[in-house]
Amino acid sequence: MKKICLPFLIFLFSTNSYCQKYVATKAQVSSFLSKSYYSINFGGIFYPFSNANLIDGYKTDTYSKNTFSGRLLLGYKITPNLAVQFGTLRPASWFKYNNINNIGYERSVWINAWSLSLKKNIALTKKLSVFGEAGIANVTRIGFSIEDEIIYSDAHFASI
């Protein structure tokens, strides 16, 4: 029994003496990431699509309309009070014309917007501030065609 115990104890103690202690290192976020932020917003887009938007000779009795929408915004703080932002906005599902001309055509109209802006924070007190935002935006609408005829045309609108 001593012949088995002694080598086992020597092995056990020698293993413990060679083990290294784990030293946790503190990770630091890079300067770029520490100044970056994102924002996710939800709301509604109340677009006025109707049969009046279709060319003459095409109409539908029903629409599929979902006003719920979302916006994703990515920002970077240039200074503590000035940031540059890029955002995109789109509905949860596209507006759809159901059963166009009662022959089974179902087509959707895609709409989305993107923006690039500067945001300036102005501190009124230690706990209260206001901000202003200025920039450019682009709203894009992708229409549809049926049998190579454009029924609802594409459009792009820019804004400052």
pLDDT tens track for 57-76: 889 988 888 889 999 999 99
On whether residue 110 sits in a domain, the answer given is: yes
Q: Domains in the chain: how many in total?
A: 1
Cβ atoms of 111 and 90 closer than 8 Å = yes
Predicted TM-score of the model (pTM): 0.68
On whether residue 16 sits in a domain, the answer given is: no
> Which among 133, 135, 136, 155 has a CA at the least distance from the CA of 144?
155
On whether residue 109 sits in a domain, the answer given is: yes
Q: For residue 17, what is the enclosing H or E element?
A: helix 2-18
On whether residue 99 sits in a domain, the answer given is: yes
On whether residue 9 sits in a domain, the answer given is: no
Note down the domain range covering 124: 25-159
On whether residue 111 sits in a domain, the answer given is: yes
pLDDT digits (tens, 9 = 90+) for 66-119: 889 999 999 999 999 999 999 999 999 999 999 888 888 889 999 999 999 999
Residue 152: exposed, middle, or buried by beta-carbon count in 10 A (0-12, 13-18, 19+)? buried
What 3-state DSSP class applies to 92? coil
